[in-house]
Amino acid sequence: MDWDDLRIFLAVARADSLSGAGRRLALDPATVGRRIQRLEEVTGARLFAKSPQGYALTEEGARLIPHAERAEAAMEGAREALTGPEGLSGQIRIGAPDGCANYLLPQVLAAICDANPGLEVQIVALPRVFNLSKREADMAIAVSRPEAGRLTVQKLTDYRLHLAAHETYLRQAPPLTSLGDLRLHRIVGYIPDMIFDKELDYLAQVGVTSVPMASNSVSVQLNWLRAGAGVGVVHDFALPFAPGVQRVLMAEVSLTRAFWLIRHEGDGRVERLNRFADLLAQGLRREVQRLESLTMGPPFVQNA
């Protein structure tokens, strides 16, 4: 069985189509189709079922996946053994929720790349869970620990969130001295039916049911607060990027969440990804601590 055919098999399985696999591999779809046909002839098994939705793995194809992924990891390990451990190189794509992607990863990954000039990194910031089995990313950061799948999971760091609003809004808004006062204020938060993880349902935890200004993006929510639009839940590590946005009701509302690093279980054999994951974990912990330490001043006091 030829490794190159297995490589193409994995690309089709992850893209669900010949054209998608061809784009990833820089091959035309006809060539991809011929290589899949050759692999099916060699194995004596039908690996894909074609449908209007694309190419779906058959039962035989699904059984081949873990073996192909082990071969992929072995080839990557062999490449690393020959190039040596001097520095990280090649391309690594990491998926992350947009709060982490906007306010933590840029500076953390810039430092890693400064120390490893041969490394290329891609940040995919999407408000949803990543499908690592389809190789949408080499690794992903999530806000809850997955309970299923062939994955390895590592806790990166805890982080804190509080209700916050801009000083200009607080100066002209009704008093905000208790949770009951929130009913008098315009709330900024997530679009309720687009909350992709229960850990992001912050406002339900504080009893808020109406969100007049909503977005699926943390960055949009923070920019609304910066514009004086209302009150919302903010990551403490994002506050240094939003001058004038102040925490409120800190005694009543203080939330703690965690970031988790999720990887495909077969990647544990790839030393390059292991080394990158260690650097990423160390950098994220330091950066969360640094940014949260900048918010330790006294909370905003609203004039009665």
Averaged pLDDT score across all residues of the chain: 87
Provide the pLDDT for residue 271: 82
Total Cβ atoms within 10 A of residue 100: 26
Provide the pLDDT for residue 77: 65
Residue scoring higher pLDDT (99 or 206)? 99
In the chain the first and final C-alpha atoms are separated, in Å, by: 77
* 304 pLDDT more than 60: no
Provide the pLDDT for residue 284: 96
Cβ(213)–Cβ(229) below 8 Å:
yes
Cβ(25)–Cβ(55) below 8 Å:
no
Give pTM, 2 decimals.
Answer: 0.72
Provide the pLDDT for residue 203: 87
Whole-Å CA distances, 304 to 60, 171, 174, 225, 299: 70, 9, 9, 21, 15
Q: How confident is the model at residue 131 (pLDDT cuts 50, 70, 90)?
A: low
* 127 pLDDT more than 70: no
Percent of the chain with pLDDT over 70: 90
Domains of the chain plus CATH, in order, are 3-83 (1.10.10.10), 90-157+258-292 (3.40.190.10), 158-256 (3.40.190.10)
* 147 pLDDT more than 90: no
Burial class (CB in 10 A: 0-12, 13-18, 19+), 86: exposed
Q: What element of type H or E holds 247?
A: strand 245-247
Residue scoring higher pLDDT (76 or 172)? 172
Q: How confident is the model at residue 231 (pLDDT cuts 50, 70, 90)?
A: very high
Rounded Cα distance between 281 and 6, Å, is 32
